[in-house]
Amino acid sequence: MPSWLNRSQLVLVAALLAAGLAQFFSNHLDSYVLSVAMGVGINIVLASSLNLINGFTGQFSLGHAGFMAVGAYTSAVLTGKLAAQLNPIFGGHIYLLFPFALVVGGLVAAVAGGLVGAPSLRLKGDYLAIVTLGFGEIIKVIFQNVEFVGGAKGLNAIPDYSNLFWVFGTTAITVYTVWALLNSTYGRGFLAVADDEISAEAMGLNTTRYKMVAFVVGAFFAGIAGGLFAHLNNSINPSGFDFNKSIEIVVMVILGGMGRHTGVILSAILLTVLTELLRQFGDYRMVIYSLLLIVLMILRPQGLMVWPFKNPLWFYLKAYWPFRMLARRPTS
Amino acid sequence: MTELLQQVINGLSLGAIYALIALGYTMVYGVLRFINFAHSDVFMLGAFTAFYSSRAMGRWGFASGGFLGGLLVLVISMAACAAVGILIERLAYRPLRKRSTLTVLITAIGVSLLLQNGGQMVFGVNPKAFPNIFPSQTFKLGGLVINSNQLVVLGVALALLTALHWIVQRTRIGTAMRAVSFNATAASLVGIDTNRIISFTFGLGSALAGAGGVLYGMNYPSIEPLMGNSPGLKAFIAAVLGGIGSLPGAALGGMVLGFVETGVSGTRWSTYRDAVAFAILIGILLFRPAGLLGRNRIEKV
Amino acid sequence: MSATGLQLNKVTIRFGGLTAVSEVSATVRPGELAGLIGPNGAGKTTVFNLITGVYSPTEGAIEFAGRAITGLRPFEITARGIARTFQNIRLFGSLTVFDNVRVAFHLHLRQGPGQSLSRGPAFHQEERELTERTRELLEIFKLDRVRDEPARSLPYGDQRRLEIVRALATQPELLLLDEPAAGMNPAEKVELMKLIQFIQERYKLAILLVEHDMKVVMGICQRIHVLEYGRKIAEGTPAQVRENPAVIAAYLGYDPENGPTK
């Protein structure tokens, strides 16, 4: 059996096919369940992409929602205001226009990631956190002030292009990308940079480049998630991409154990579902949420998902094999 | 000309409020090397305590609206906030004393969210009109319109800053605070009870934030549970601008930011004023991370 | 490494009002085992930090293999062939022993992020090669049994050895060792001395050693440079340095001829 080449990419292809299949049968599902499922997928993308930056490369970024916003707005503009110009290029085929819009959204978000990363990444710890927070807020303020994208009121009537295939397909690609990137000698460099930057640099690693790659790739997927989000909720406004949203994503990463692939996926699922369940409690929701956060940090800061292998839930979630592959400890 | 003077006065009072909040951030960072995200919500609690206590006082027949009444409200708010600050430190931060910065930061965010959302639950989401706790009069000085509240804000801020300076420089506990901020281990080795000092620092910083909340309420029409976010973030920027860990720096940073914000509000870029504050933050961290008055720390390799 | 080796030309660094290193000039020839000694606070680690680019000199220049390296970033200097260990061990504690070494092959990687994603045959080929070379290195230095342990769980002596192995993985021509014998008992120090000589012979490196233990320094160094208060006060063979009155005075605080020096 040849090396991992075939296995991991085969799994990816299988996952994409599964997503397609799921989409095919999606008519039988309740639309609420569908939207929650898609929400889960989007959050997995957000959490995994932030995990690359925070968890694996150790850069504390609190502005991830800003990149999401960039992707959301860009793709919405492409499928909305610019649809008339773009449609002829794609022969009116939405299944070409939509991924195009998503990818462009991701690329613009990646550029934003580079712009934010370049000055910020020479800072450490608290300071980096605050600066990324600041950038996230600046992005929000900019969107609030640009009339072309609706200003503070945001964009409405965004077409309903998100479906299970696009969402879960993106999820599969994101998870594969983060995993594949890290599972190589090159990829170990991210972990080294997170562990001890001075030491990493002394061993010949260009720490700035590693951090930038993490930032840009993370921002790219956040942008795509934003696009999927926009076309799921049909309307977006700047205040939905504020600091609170960034914190939500950060919590998913921390809960999942900062730098564990499966942990972060599970925690994204858990938290999305939990948010839905707590919605019935109205105002109490955020109070409970914040209390949980505090208690968790005091009692179990390494996250809830540190031993996914022993968690039985896990086996029932998807096919056994891809998870087993993902859960394999990152050593040689 | 009068416009300019008007802006100066506005800038001064906004700056004073930012300075008071910024001092809390910087003091806590000084002794614990940690950014207390929940500080801005203590500020909010100060405003609400003033709101409810002045109402209570009115109901119970105290001279509400009188000058002494106003002072009493201020003192109550400051005391309440000091207590809250100390409580938060004991319950949420002390258990995490040895953990990584990230863990504590997230906890602080959790506390902040708790206070905000709890506030929304308890106080209601809608803004409340802040009452006049001090007797209010408006003076007109040749085109300039000054409200006595603004004068009170300036006066109180000045008094508090002076008191703080005296405490930190002239008292034993202030010296202990400074010792802990330089080197906590060494401080404990010379017999300073670091836990007590840290609690005291939190109490002091929170009291100032509470006062800031009261003063803010006096200058602005309404208060609501999320009001701490924006001034809190800006006061933090002020603290960094002045040099985090430096008390005069925080005061200076607060004033500078107050003036800059007031200035920007007066131009047509007014809606970008928040972004301007962040741009300042980013600029400072990139070009002069130690801040205006801060000291540079070099990591020993 | 060309015949010129490492050259420090009147290197000075000031931190605010403090001059930590002042006009230090020194040469380490290719293949030489040199020592850098001096009382505490003399500036030895600072010199290392200057050479490796952690600090930039305020004045003066540093050259290696005939090219200037002043002001380059640490990873660029490592790319030129200078590797180091640290006074306080700085391993990648959360990574396994294996990964600590593997990651140090970074400079010689052909792969990058793109290849990690596409995972073609070339990628796998390189991964196999690197795995083999890492395994080899670990075996030579007797760390292969613990290859999958997190680095921070190793005993102190093993950690020090691992740090040296990791530095070797970058394939340097000059190896800087910062107090490698710190915290070791006499038997371990003897092992260390043999290890350093072994490395020098096998990999044909120059080694510059900062050490406090005189037995170690005098035992293996061919040439010794002595610093005091940031200045170089002596240079020579172990025998010469041992007899040098300035050196004696610096270490004892007392000049046998003239009484206290301070």
**pLDDT tens column, A258-284:** 778 888 999 899 889 888 888 877 767
For residues C67 and C123, membership in a common domain is answered with no
Q: How far apart are CA C174 and CA A145, in angstroms?
A: 57
Candidate from A172-181, A193-202, A289-298 with smallest mean pLDDT:
A289-298
Q: How far apart are CA A164 and CA A28, in angstroms?
A: 13
DSSP B89: I
| Cβ atoms B240, B21 nearer than 8 A | no
**B97 and chain A: CB distance < 8 Å anywhere?**
no
**B226 and chain A: CB distance < 8 Å anywhere?**
no
Question: How many helices and strands in chain C, by DSSP H and E?
Answer: 10, 12
Least Cα distance to C59 among C87, C90, C20 occurs for: C20
Q: Which residue has the tokens 């709101």?
A: B51
> What is the structure's pLDDT at A292?
81
Tell me if B273 is assigned to some domain. no
> What is the structure's pLDDT at A319?
45
Q: How far apart are CA C230 and CA C13, in angstroms?
A: 9
> What is the structure's pLDDT at B300?
52
Tell me if B246 is assigned to some domain. no
Tell me if B286 is assigned to some domain. no
Average pLDDT over residues C138-166: 92
**C105 and chain A: CB distance < 8 Å anywhere?**
yes
Q: How far apart are CA B224 and CA C211, in angstroms?
A: 63
Beta bridge partners of residue A323, listed in sequence order: none
Q: Which residue has the tokens 């921070």?
A: C152
For residues C252 and C177, membership in a common domain is answered with yes
Q: Which residue has the tokens 């000055």?
A: A119
Q: How far apart are CA C219 and CA C238, in angstroms?
A: 8
**C92 and chain A: CB distance < 8 Å anywhere?**
yes
ipTM of the complex as predicted? 0.88
Helix residue spans in chain A (DSSP H): 4-24, 31-50, 64-79, 83-86, 94-120, 125-145, 164-182, 185-195, 197-202, 207-233, 243-255, 261-278, 284-299, 313-317, 320-327
State which H helix or E strand residue B21 sits in: helix B2-32
Look over chain B and give the mean of its residue pLDDT values, rounded to a whole number.
Answer: 85
Q: How far apart are CA A275 and CA A297, in angstroms?
A: 19
Rg (CA), chain A: 19
Tell me if B282 is assigned to some domain. no
Average pLDDT over residues C209-237: 91
Tell me if C87 is assigned to some domain. no
For residues C176 and C260, membership in a common domain is answered with yes
State which H helix or E strand residue C251 sits in: helix C245-252
Tell me if C86 is assigned to some domain. no
Q: What is the largest CA-CA distance in chain A?
A: 57
| Cβ atoms B192, B180 nearer than 8 A | yes
Structural domain containing residue C60: 1-81+172-262
CATH at residue C35: 3.40.50.300
Q: How far apart are CA A68 and CA A73, in angstroms?
A: 9
Candidate from A302-316, B132-146, C9-23, C91-105 with smallest mean pLDDT:
A302-316
∠ CA C182-C196-C151 to the nearest 5 degrees? 60
CB atoms within 10 A of CB C213: 18
Tell me if B107 is assigned to some domain. yes
Number of folded domains that form chain C: 2
Candidate from A316-330, B200-214, C63-77, C213-227 with smallest mean pLDDT:
A316-330
Q: What is the largest CA-CA distance in chain B?
A: 65
**Domain boundary pick from C151, C169, C187:** C169
Domain ranges in chain A are 31-327
Cβ-based neighbours of A192, under 8 Å, separated by 6 or more: A199, A200, A203, A205, C92, C95, C103
CATH of A31-327, one of 2.30.30, 1.10.490, 1.10.3470, 1.20.120: 1.10.3470
Which of A18-22's residues contact partners 24+ apart within 8 Å by CB, and which partners?
Answer: A18/A168, A18/A319, A19/A164, A19/A165, A19/A167, A19/A168, A19/A169, A19/A171, A19/A172, A20/A165, A20/A169, A22/A164, A22/A165, A22/A168
**Phi (first) and psi of residue B228, to 5 degrees:** -75, -25
For residues C227 and C109, membership in a common domain is answered with no
Look over chain A and give the mean of its residue pLDDT values, rounded to a whole number.
Answer: 84
**pLDDT tens column, B249-296:** 899 999 999 998 888 887 777 777 778 888 888 888 778 777 788 765
pLDDT at C125 over 80: yes
pLDDT at A179 over 50: yes
Tell me if B122 is assigned to some domain. yes
Name the CA dihedral angle for A75, A78, A80, A82, rounded to a multiple of 10 degrees.
170
**C15 and chain B: CB distance < 8 Å anywhere?**
yes
pLDDT at A291 over 90: no
| Cβ atoms C131, A332 nearer than 8 A | yes
**Phi (first) and psi of residue A142, to 5 degrees:** -60, -50
If contacts are CB pairs under 8 Å, which of residues 162-181 in chain C contact chain B? none
Please report the number of interchain residue pairs, chain B to chain C, with beta-carbon separation below 8 angstroms. Answer: 6
Least Cα distance to C207 among C36, C21, C2, C24 occurs for: C36
| Cβ atoms C188, C194 nearer than 8 A | no
Length of chain B: 301
**pLDDT tens column, C59-72:** 999 999 889 999 89
Q: Measured between beta carbons, which residues in chain B are less than 8 angstroms from residue C15?
A: 298
Q: CA torsion sign, C165 to C170 to C174 to C180?
A: negative
Contact (CB<8Å) C99/A332: yes
**pLDDT tens column, C162-173:** 999 999 999 999
Number of folded domains that form chain B: 1
Least Cα distance to C95 among A195, A104, B245, A119 occurs for: A195
> What is the structure's pLDDT at A309?
42
pLDDT at B220 over 50: yes
> What is the structure's pLDDT at C252?
67
∠ CA B85-B87-B93 to the nearest 5 degrees? 85
**C120 and chain A: CB distance < 8 Å anywhere?**
yes
Structural domain containing residue B146: 13-226
Q: How far apart are CA B301 and CA C53, in angstroms?
A: 12
> What is the structure's pLDDT at B296?
58
Rg (CA), chain C: 20
User: Coil, helix or strand for C254?
Assistant: strand
Q: Measured between beta carbons, which residues in chain B are less than 8 angstroms from residue A123?
A: 285, 289
pLDDT at C37 over 50: yes
Q: How far apart are CA C181 and CA C235, in angstroms?
A: 22
Q: For an interface test with A, which of B107, B116, B122, B269 has the most A Cβ atoms less than 10 Å from its Cβ? A: B107
Average pLDDT over residues C178-207: 91
Contact (CB<8Å) A126/B34: yes
Q: Measured between beta carbons, which residues in chain A are less than 8 angstroms from residue B229?
A: 243
Q: Measured between beta carbons, which residues in chain B are less than 8 angstroms from residue A243?
A: 229
For residues C75 and C184, membership in a common domain is answered with yes
Contact (CB<8Å) C105/A202: no
**C233 and chain A: CB distance < 8 Å anywhere?**
no
**Domain boundary pick from C143, C169, C195:** C169
Three-state SS across B111-148? HHHHHHHHHHHHHCCCCEECCCCCCCCEEEECCEEEEH
Three-state SS across A256-321? CCCCCHHHHHHHHHHHHHHHHHHHHHCCHHHHHHHHHHHHHHHHCCCCCCCCHHHCCHHHHHCCHH
Contact (CB<8Å) A204/C90: no
Candidate from A174-183, B16-25, C181-190, C248-257 with smallest mean pLDDT:
C248-257
> What is the structure's pLDDT at B243?
85
Average pLDDT over residues C221-235: 92
Tell me if C60 is assigned to some domain. yes
Cβ-based neighbours of A111, under 8 Å, separated by 6 or more: none
**Domain boundary pick from C169, C197, C213:** C169
pLDDT tier at A29, thresholds 50, 70, 90 = confident
Candidate from A186-195, B80-89, B121-130, C74-83 with smallest mean pLDDT:
B121-130
Entry pTM: 0.85
Q: CA torsion sign, A25 to A30 to A32 to A37?
A: negative
Q: What percent of chain A has pLDDT over 90?
A: 38
| Cβ atoms C72, C79 nearer than 8 A | no
Helix residue spans in C43-154 (DSSP H): 44-51, 74-80, 97-103, 113-118, 121-140
Beta bridge partners of residue B14, listed in sequence order: none
Q: Measured between beta carbons, which residues in chain A are less than 8 angstroms from residue C93?
A: 195-196
Least Cα distance to A264 among A249, A253, A248, A250 occurs for: A253
Average pLDDT over residues B143-156: 82
pLDDT tier at A301, thresholds 50, 70, 90 = low
pLDDT tier at A130, thresholds 50, 70, 90 = confident
> What is the structure's pLDDT at B199?
93
**pLDDT tens column, B65-77:** 567 778 888 999 9
Q: Looking at chain B, which runs of residues are DSSP E strands?
A: 128-129, 138-141, 144-147, 222-223
Name the residue among C86, C94, C119 with its Cβ closest to that of A195.
C94
DSSP A236: B
Tell me if B44 is assigned to some domain. yes
Tell me if C90 is assigned to some domain. no
Length of chain A: 332
Q: How far apart are CA C126 and CA C106, in angstroms?
A: 12
**pLDDT tens column, A220-253:** 999 999 999 999 999 999 988 988 889 889 888 8
Q: How far apart are CA B293 and CA C5, in angstroms?
A: 44
> Regarding predicted confidence, which is higher, A163 or C194?
C194
